Amino acid sequence: MTVGGSIRYDAAMRDPAEIDKLNRRFAADTEGAARFEPGNGGFAKLVLTAPAAEAHVYLYGAHVTHYQPRGQQPVLFLSGKSFFTHGRPIRGGVPIVFPWFGPRASDPQAPMHGFARIRDWDVDSIAARGDSVTATLSLRSSDETHALWPHDFRLRYIVTVGPELDLTLEVTNPLADPVMFEQALHTYFAVGDVRQTRVSGLTTAAYLDKNRDMQKLVDSEDPLVLTGSSDRVYLGTRAKCVIDDPAGARRISVDKEGSDTTVVWNPWSNPPKPFPDLGEDEWERFICVETCNVKDYAVTLAGEATHTMRSIIRAEKA
């Protein structure tokens, strides 16, 4: 059954009556597959429950913070020190990066990784079918986004929870002139010990190494094993990545569509500027393998066109 009709929840207000309204509008007829409840910081959290898995999506940032297949540990890492404060990003899960990646070169005061992850998103619909449940959220340009980025846009984010986690980000340019943007699904994958983790699918790919002044190098490791801080932008990568997590006794695969770059990131034990929203030892328990279009692979979107980027995440016991 599908329930539609866009509703926005203002995370800054944190009004329980608004959560009740969301439940009546979207969750009442899903037969338990969806419910809204107060999350951390009072932000509205959407709980999606399918026969094979459960996920949590905060309307603040359209942020998927949790995905757990039945009989497994959570697939996504969420920091125990994460901020749940309006204007600050959530640390962990799947932050949405748009319309720029990293700091904005023309405005160092602009929010890191764009504004999509620190905006309240609309709920468009929820659908429960067979062994999966899907939520669709959206974000449109406004006077507030124009103050940061002078372009019109429509974002639609489709989260499908089932035996796999399927994340689809659609960007529509409603006007006639082309627009250029960067985007990423900045996914934090939970692992038993990042020092034992191996990532395959990137061998022979060229990458920009942020820890070496953006030198362009070629990955010869098969698979990639992190031995220190990693911040690499792999270029022209479309293949599936597989995260082998022996300490967690499982493998996580990441298929993607509409993405030409992959970022691998972990700050390791002593970053130059410690993160206030990351516990001292939490770096050991995640690796970011990001589906994205950044740097030279930023998207130039024609007028009245839509670009679709998709990430399909599967986890299986090793």
Q: Looking at the annotation, which residues are catalytic?
A: 186, 290
Question: What does R_g of the chain's alpha carbons equal in angstroms?
Answer: 19
Element (H, E) at 19: helix 16-22
Distance set, CA 201 to CA 14, 112, 213, 244, 251 (Å):
42, 28, 24, 11, 13
Measured distance between the N- and C-terminal CA atoms of the chain, rounded to whole angstroms: 35
Q: Are 186 and 89 in contact (CB under 8 A)?
A: no
Distance set, CA 80 to CA 3, 107, 120, 294, 298 (Å):
33, 31, 22, 29, 32
E strands present in 52-117 = 53-58, 63-69, 96-97
| Residue found under tokens 């204007």 | 87
Cα separation, 58 vs 62, in Å, equals 6
Side-chain-facing half-sphere of 96: CA atoms under 13 Å: 32
Q: Are 184 and 113 in contact (CB under 8 A)?
A: yes
Cα separation, 35 vs 191, in Å, equals 28
